[in-house]
Structure 1
Amino acid sequence: MPDQPPRALFFDTFDRHIPTPVLDRASAYTEADWLSLAEAWRRSYGIFTRTFDPSTKFISIDQHHYTALKELLNVRGILPLFNDAELWDLTFAWHRLDPWTDSARGLALLNTQFVTSTLSNGNVSLLEDLKKHGSLPFAHLISSEHFGAYKPSSKVYLGAAEKLGLKPEECALVAAHLRDLRAAKDCGFKAVFVERELEEDWEVEEVAKAKADGWVDIWIDQDTGGFVEVARRFGIQE
């Protein structure tokens, strides 16, 4: 628990686990190995956001997903099986990800004490659809798209704090990725790690070191309550 609680909690909303809606939509088109393709598609997202040059023209996550899907299907020799409408239908399956089971309930609790907002590399329309699909009660929707950059760029974290009229030290990032949290921490944010299955891409040794070093302010282990447990750590009871 940080000595001085934050005023706002920002959430890395768009996770990178294999999305069931994507697999469900894909299986309707062809019997290709969609699990391996979806894994490659997911990996392309992380590479794209980490290497994006903010001095160039901004490319949304939707556009990236569309372009990356075409490339992956082409490599597998099955791109001709799809028309453009079908490619976009698959791309927008990312807008229908189901939230973690504790998310809506935990957010409702946290809203009683904090300002809550997304802070995601997902574009604005994607976040709007995820909020609606999952009935997620965020008070604000903030995307990297607002700043023409992608996390872990400091422009995103500092821009989000400024957008809500707050200092970085008045903010905390809640995320399942330590790379994201480390970058936010370096900008003055507090860090709340919520461990989720298959989400963390750091090696086991790196995760253990981060936990031992103590720079994460609140550490929620997997399957211990998620956002509901975050609320409990801040003294909010159901």
Structure 2
Amino acid sequence: MTTTSVPPQLRVLFFDVFGTCVAQRPSVADELWRAAREALESDVSLISSEVRTKATNTSYEEWDELGAEWNKEGEKFVRSSIANHGAVDWKAVDENRIALLPKLLARRGLIIPREDASTTELQVGEGSLWNESQLKHLGRVWHRLNPWPDTCRGLELLNRKFSTVTLSNTYNDLMKHLVAHSSIPFKHVYTADMFQSFKPNAKVYLGAAEKMGVKPEQCALVAAHLSDLKGAKACGFYTLYVERPLEEKNPELLKENIPNLWIKDQDGFVTLAERLGIQVV
């Protein structure tokens, strides 16, 4: 494969993480499916017969759909926060995800709600598929998302030539947990909360470049989302689009010719490294 025409001054690769580096949707579906199987096999006497039947009949595809709805509801919370406050408290986003899960499960009859007069939060009653402690653990699945098969190998290659840096809409502690869990070899971990803003706000891209001590034209953003790349390009970044299954939320942007380089094959970051002039053995 031939290399692409890379700006000679390119020094730093910033990476979107959720969906781009980690397999967000498959990871959530896998964990919910596995946890359901474990719950059903551990002590079924603790689960009501109705809940047990519904859980047993819930397919992997249905768990995947629940995960997609969960993520969509979380994104609504982010948009509402921006609309109402012009800012995002990313820790509150994480807490909202945890609170959302039992509500989504209750709609499907997998959690039996117990109303508590002292709180507005949904309480988990006896006979549910999971208890409150288990639900809180599952609700933190975004701290434990697994990398795409090419991610770690691709980063190892890219690190030979560039500084690699996360640049994600979340808070730094979560991203550090995720990077450690996934063993992705980033050189630096940056997140939107470090710049008191959110992508695609220019403050994030320009703030990250400044923190790395480089000019925008010395930076590239690697992402599976065209809206993110559009924001980075407007700030003078080189744009590297790596397609991931079911990740593009704005296909209408395809006509805008946003990416400087477009990686379409399943080897993702490994192919990206090769296209950027790094020898892949």
Give the TM-score category using the shorter length: 0.7 to 0.9
Give the corresponding residue for 2:268. 226
Q: Deviations over 1:24-54 (max 9, x none)?
A: 2355456155333211012123333445326
Q: CA RMSD in A?
A: 2.4
Give the corresponding residue for 1:21. 31
Higher deviation after alignment, 41-50 or 172-181? 41-50
Max Rg structure: 2
Map 1:66-77 to 2 at 5 A.
66-76=98-108
Q: Deviations over 1:113-165 (max 9, x none)?
A: 11101111233233222222222110001111222332222222222112212
Unaligned runs of 5+ in 1: none
Map 1:1-238 to 2 at 5 A.
1-15=5-19, 16-19=24-27, 20-29=30-39, 31=55, 33-53=62-82, 55-56=86-87, 58-60=89-91, 61-76=93-108, 78=111, 79=113, 80=124, 81=128, 82-203=130-251, 206=252, 208-210=254-256, 213=257, 215-223=258-266, 225-238=267-280
How has the CA–CA distance of structure 1 residues 13 and 103 changed in structure 2, closer, same or farther, with 3 Å as cutoff? Answer: same
Unaligned runs of 5+ in 2: 40-50, 114-123
Letter in 2 for 1:233: R
Q: Is the 8 A contact 2:151 2:268 kept in 1?
A: yes
How has the CA–CA distance of structure 1 residues 50 and 230 changed in structure 2, closer, same or farther, with 3 Å as cutoff? Answer: farther
Higher deviation after alignment, 15-24 or 225-234? 15-24
Higher deviation after alignment, 98-107 or 68-77? 68-77
Provide the secondary structure at the position in 1 that maps to 2:25. Answer: coil
Give the corresponding residue for 2:116. none
Higher deviation after alignment, 26-35 or 92-101? 26-35
For this pair of structures, how many residues does the alignment match?
Answer: 232
Letter in 2 for 1:38: G
Q: Is the 8 A contact 1:176 1:193 kept in 2?
A: yes
Q: Is the 8 A contact 2:99 2:139 kept in 1?
A: no
Higher deviation after alignment, 135-144 or 3-12? 3-12
Q: Is the 8 A contact 2:88 2:197 kept in 1?
A: no
The CA distance in 1 between the partners of 2:197 and 2:135, in whole Å, is 25
Structure-2-length-normalised TM-score: 0.73
How has the CA–CA distance of structure 1 residues 127 and 25 changed in structure 2, closer, same or farther, with 3 Å as cutoff? Answer: farther
How has the CA–CA distance of structure 1 residues 111 and 38 changed in structure 2, closer, same or farther, with 3 Å as cutoff? Answer: same
The CA distance in 1 between the partners of 2:103 and 2:81, in whole Å, is 18
Structure-1-length-normalised TM-score: 0.85
Per-residue deviation at 1:172? 0.9
The CA distance in 1 between the partners of 2:79 and 2:268, in whole Å, is 26
